[in-house]
């Protein structure tokens, strides 16, 4: 069946099951919508069930698009906290290039084959991260009188950053995806660990002193944890 979510039409796979009493909705890993329903459930009842879960479904669909492999189909890429559509364009340009267009929210990739698209996007964002993140961390540390020995930009799979007792800080390259104020909080979080190497009350008092809005930024990182799975 076809259902409406706001201004978009979506295909819904309906599976009717004998003995089932309630309607359940599932979003698969590839972004498909599957509804399990009683045999007697009307189309109207199915549409009402989908509409009642509209916000949840839209969030799940956006998340599935963000994490899905990049192919010739339009995908979404988060950069600086903004969602961009990814478009691949045929071109004779060598080497291939990635251009972000802030005016229309599109990232255009020129001269890349479908099989190279994901790697090219990863390389572009990783390059941005290596260029931008260390200076930000060293400057933030200096302003707060904290000595940081080295700043590493890493491909961490489960965390946004880490800090060691040797004075080193590691930052996930995907921090170029998050809004500037959230990125600043995360950097300050790791710098604070150079003073307090745990998450005690003293640590959070220091973080609050440096970043009064840290709870809001930390909540953003928690809500967008799926970004840690993008561009593996």
CA max distance for the chain: 69
116 and 90 in a common domain: yes
| Comparison of pLDDT for 68 and 117, the residue scoring more | 117
Same-domain pairing of 92 and 55: no
Split at pLDDT 50, 70, 90, the class of 135 is very high
Domain boundary among 22, 45, 66: 66
**Domain match, 77 and 134 both:** no
CATH (domain of 211): 3.30.2010.10
Boundary-marking domain end, from 89, 120, 151: 120
If asked whether residues 137 and 225 sit together in one domain, one would say yes
- Boundary-marking domain end, from 66, 89, 111: 66
191 and 101 within one domain: no
Query: Does residue 204 carry a pLDDT above 80?
Result: yes
d(CA 213, CA 108): 34
Q: How far apart are CA 85 and CA 105, in angstroms?
A: 6
Q: Where are the alpha helices (DSSP H) in 84-164?
A: 117-143
- pLDDT tens digits for range 75-102: 788 889 888 888 877 776 677 788 888 8
Q: Which domain holds residue 82?
A: 69-120
Judgement on whether residues 135 and 178 belong to the same structural domain of the protein: yes
171 and 212 both lie in a single domain: yes
Say which residue the tokens 């990125």 belong to.
183
Please check whether residues 216 and 138 belong to one and the same domain: yes
Q: What angle do CA 21, 27, 30 make, to 5 degrees?
A: 145
What is the per-residue pLDDT for 139? 96
Which pLDDT tens digit goes with each residue over 16-74? 888 888 899 887 655 568 889 998 888 888 888 888 888 888 777 766 666 656 555 55
DSSP-based three-state secondary structure for 99: strand
Sheet with 8-17: strands ordered across: 2-5, 8-17, 33-38, 24-27
Same domain, 108 and 198: no
Same domain for 129 and 114: no
| Assessment of whether the complete model's pTM goes beyond 0.75 | no
Looking at the structure, tell me whether residues 10 and 30 fall in a common domain: yes
Identify whether residues 143 and 188 lie together within a single domain. Answer: yes
Measured CA to CA, the distance from residue 227 to residue 221 in angstroms comes to: 9
Structural domains of the chain, count: 3
């Amino acid at each position: 069946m076809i259902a409406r979510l706001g201004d978009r039409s979506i295909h819904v796979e309906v599976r009717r099951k004998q003995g089932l009493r309630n309607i359940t909705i599932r979003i698969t890993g590839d972004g498909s919508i599957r509804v399990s329903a009683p045999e007697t459930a009307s189309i109207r009842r199915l549409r009402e069930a989908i509409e009642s879960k509209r916000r949840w479904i839209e969030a799940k669909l956006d998340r599935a698009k963000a994490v899905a492999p990049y192919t010739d189909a339009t995908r979404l890429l988060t950069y600086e906290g903004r969602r961009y559509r990814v478009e691949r364009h045929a071109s004779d340009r060598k080497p291939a290039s990635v251009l972000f267009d802030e005016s229309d929210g599109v990232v255009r990739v020129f001269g890349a084959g479908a099989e190279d698209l994901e790697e090219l996007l990863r390389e572009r964002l990783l390059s941005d991260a290596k260029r931008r993140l260390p200076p930000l961390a060293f400057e933030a540390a200096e302003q707060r009188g904290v000595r940081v020995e080295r700043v590493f930009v890493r491909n961490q799979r489960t965390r946004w950053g880490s800090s060691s007792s040797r004075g080193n800080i590691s930052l996930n390259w995907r921090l170029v995806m998050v809004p500037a104020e959230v990125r600043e909080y995360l950097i300050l979080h790791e710098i604070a660990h150079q003073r307090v190497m745990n998450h005690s009350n003293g640590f959070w008092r220091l973080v609050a002193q440096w970043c009064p809005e840290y709870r809001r930024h930390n909540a953003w990182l928690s809500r967008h944890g799926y970004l840690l799975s993008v561009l593996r």
